[in-house]
Each structure stands twice: as structure tokens, then as C-alpha cells.
């Protein structure tokens, strides 16, 4: 007859094995990427990270334009998405009547279910023609700023940033809304008791209480934006070039992998592409680790309670 003790230990080992499997998968992934990119690492060394040329014919490969493109497009997306998402989350958590709240939440979450390729197609046929006059106007009025110089073709970094923002909004909104709803009523009631208005109560105790969770939500959005491939590759212009202007085409690490891996021939070419994959992998881990550290520091300073 099985004793409760044996059952418990068995259960613990099974769960430990499950957790260890996840860690092992990540470690295995990192090792495989490192192994496969070894020829490129040996050939280029650290030059790979700060070279701007990507020339498959002359076999000169450098990841800098892709790293730049990935970081800028993701941060641009966060810049656009964060105010909108937080506003939507605050509205859904605090201000919306019940019927509106449920319907609107559902619609926002539906945005997350749309496949990336569909966003890309929508981007080419709807967003880019819309952006062209916007870019033309920005170029005319604010043309002295390097950010808004160049021909307004529509396709470029700005289009990629906008599409990524739209793709990232449902994630940040959903998590932020849950975090805001988890703020105990006592916080709000205490604020009202002290005579604050609705807005002051939201801005003060509630938001500060929920801040670690909201930061976590933003980091989740950043993680999505860093890895997004198909939608970006259709509207970013795929030009491995670093430019200060938002109107110029650019390229991201995920987009160059999606574009060139299938037809790549030659050991150095393939190894260079895999090294870009390794860099993306490493970048994602580093950014998530930094985000986690930030949240721990904030959560340590602020009131405890919400664990996301």
C-alpha cells in the first residue's frame, strides 16, 4: 500500500523534472546556437557586433544594423504603446461600466489573437499608405530634426514601430488591467477617506501599488516586440543600414533570419545567420533579466502584495 510520504516525494520529483526540463531546453538551445555559429565567431570575433556591412557575396557579415533595428523598433513600439495601453487598462479597471468593460476587454484580447502575417499584410496595404501623408507632413514641418528626414515612402522604421505597438498593446493592457484590479480596495478607500479625487487616488496609491506589475507588463510587451518577425519584415524595408531617420528602411535580427536563412549557402553565411540568432537569444535573456531586476528593486521599495 502506497504511503502518503512516498506519493509526496514522487510528486515532488516529477515537478522538479518538469522544471529542470525547461531549464535544460533553454541551455540546450543556447549551446546548439553557440556551436552552430562557431565558424562565424572564429572568423569575425567581436568585430561581428560592431560591423555595419552585410555582404553575402564578399562574405563580410556584421550584426550592428540588425541589433540597432531590433532595439529601435522595439523601443519605438513601447513608446507608442505604453501610454495607450495604460490608459486603456486604467479605463477598464477603474472607470468602465461592467458591460463596456467585458466587451472592450474581449476585443482588445482579440488583437493578440491575430496572426503576425495578417498584421504584415494589413501593414502593407492599409498602414503604409496611411503613413505616407503623415510622414510627408512631418517631413515638411519638422524636417530639420534628423528623425524626420528622407523620402516619405511609408515603408520604414516608423511603420515597423507602429505595427509593433499595435501588436504589443493587448499584452500590456491585459496584464496591467489584472494588476490594477488586484490592488486592494482598502488602498482606494483610504485615499478617498483622505479627501482625494478619483484621479488623485488612481495616480497616487493605486498606480504606485501596481507599478511593479505594470513594469512587468511592459517588459512582456518588449519581449514580444523584440522577437516579432513576419509583420516587421513586411513593412520595415529590410535594408541593413543604420540611419537616424524614422522614415528610412531598416532591418531587424528576426527579419534577416526569416528572409535569408532558407536560401543561405556557404558555411560562413549560415554560421553568421545563426550567430545573429544567438545574439537575439542573448539579448532577450539580458533584457528580461534587467527587467526582472528593475521590478525587484521597485517592488522592494514599494508596498508588497502584487506578485505577477
Partner 1 sequence: MHTTRRLLWPVLLALVTAALLAGCAKRSQQEAPATPGALTLTGAGATFPYPLYSKWFAEYEKVAPTVRINYQSIGSGGGIQQLKAGTVDFGASDAPLSDEEMKAMPAPVVHIPTVAGAAVIACNLPGRAQRLRLTPEAIAGIYLGEIKRWRDARITASNPGVKLPDLAIAVTHRSDGSGTTYIFTHYLAAVSKTWADRVGAGKSVDWPVGIGGKGNEGVTGVVKQTPGAIGYVELAYAMQNKLAYAEVRNAAGKFIAPTVASTTAAAAAAVGAMKKDVRVSIVNASTPTAYPIAGFTYLLVYREQKDRAKGEAIAKFLLWAVHDGQKYAPPLLYAPLPLGVVALDEAAIRSLTHGAKPLIAEGR
Binding mask 55-94 for partner 1 (x = CB under 8 A): xxxx------------------------------------
Residue pair 178/90 in contact (Cβ under 8 Å)? The answer is: no
Identify which range of 21-29, 68-76, 199-207, 254-262 contacts partner 1 by CB under 8 A.
254-262
Among 16, 17, 151, 289, binds partner 1 (CB under 8 A): 151
Identify which range of 69-77, 92-100, 195-203, 238-246 contacts partner 1 by CB under 8 A.
238-246
Looking at the Cβ atoms of 105 and 238, the one nearer to partner 1 is 238
Please tell me whether residue 263 binds partner 1 under the rule CB under 8 A.
yes
How many angstroms separate the Cα of 10 from the Cα of each of 1, 6, 13, 24, 150? 15, 6, 5, 20, 65
Please tell me whether residue 35 binds partner 1 under the rule CB under 8 A.
no
SS3 of 57-98: CCCEECCHHHHHHHHHHHHHHHHHHHHHHHHHHHHHHHHCCH
What whole-number distance in Å separates Cα of residue 177 and Cα of residue 247? 34
Name the β-bridge partners of 78. Answer: none
CB of 226 to partner 1, least distance (A): 19
Identify which range of 71-79, 183-191, 206-214, 229-237 contacts partner 1 by CB under 8 A.
229-237
Looking at the Cβ atoms of 26 and 117, the one nearer to partner 1 is 117
Q: How many residues make up the chain in this entry?
A: 308
Residue 304, C-alpha cell as written in the block: 508588497
Q: What is the number of other CB atoms lying within 10 angstroms of the CB of residue 150?
A: 18
Residue 241's SS3 state is coil
Binding site for partner 1 (CB under 8 A): 2, 53-58, 124-125, 128-129, 151, 153-155, 233-234, 237-240, 249, 251, 255, 258-267, 270
Amino acid at each position: 500500500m502506497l504511503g502518503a510520504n512516498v506519493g509526496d516525494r514522487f510528486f515532488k520529483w516529477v515537478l522538479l523534472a518538469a522544471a529542470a526540463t525547461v531549464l535544460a531546453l533553454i541551455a540546450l538551445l543556447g549551446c546548439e546556437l553557440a556551436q552552430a555559429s562557431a565558424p562565424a565567431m572564429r572568423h569575425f570575433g567581436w568585430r561581428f557586433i560592431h560591423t555595419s556591412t552585410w555582404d553575402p557575396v564578399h562574405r563580410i557579415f556584421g550584426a550592428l544594423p540588425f541589433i540597432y533595428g531590433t532595439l529601435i523598433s522595439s523601443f519605438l513600439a513601447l513608446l507608442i504603446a505604453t501610454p495607450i495601453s495604460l490608459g486603456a487598462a486604467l479605463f477598464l479597471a477603474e472607470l468602465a461600466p461592467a458591460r463596456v468593460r467585458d466587451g472592450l476587454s474581449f476585443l482588445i484580447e482579440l488583437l493578440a489573437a491575430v496572426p503576425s502575417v495578417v498584421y504584415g499584410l494589413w501593414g502593407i496595404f492599409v498602414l503604409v499608405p496611411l503613413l505616407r501623408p503623415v510622414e510627408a507632413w512631418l517631413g515638411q514641418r519638422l524636417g530639420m530634426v534628423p528623425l524626420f528626414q528622407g523620402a516619405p515612402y511609408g515603408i520604414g522604421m516608423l511603420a515597423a514601430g507602429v505595427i509593433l505597438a499595435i501588436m504589443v498593446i493587448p499584452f500590456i493592457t491585459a496584464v496591467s488591467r489584472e494588476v490594477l484590479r488586484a490592488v486592494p480596495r482598502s488602498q482606494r478607500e483610504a485615499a478617498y477617506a483622505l479627501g482625494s479625487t478619483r484621479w488623485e487616488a488612481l495616480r497616487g496609491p493605486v498606480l504606485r501599488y501596481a507599478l511593479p506589475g505594470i513594469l512587468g507588463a511592459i517588459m512582456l510587451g518588449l519581449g514580444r516586440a523584440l522577437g516579432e518577425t513576419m509583420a516587421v519584415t513586411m513593412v520595415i524595408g529590410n535594408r541593413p543600414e543604420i540611419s537616424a531617420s524614422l522614415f528610412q528602411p531598416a532591418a531587424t535580427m528576426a527579419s534577416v533570419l526569416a528572409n535569408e536563412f532558407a536560401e543561405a549557402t556557404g558555411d560562413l553565411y549560415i554560421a553568421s545567420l545563426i550567430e545573429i540568432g544567438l545574439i537575439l537569444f542573448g539579448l532577450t535573456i539580458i533584457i528580461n533579466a534587467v527587467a526582472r531586476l528593475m521590478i525587484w528593486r521597485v517592488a522592494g521599495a514599494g508596498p508588497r502584495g502584487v506578485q505577477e
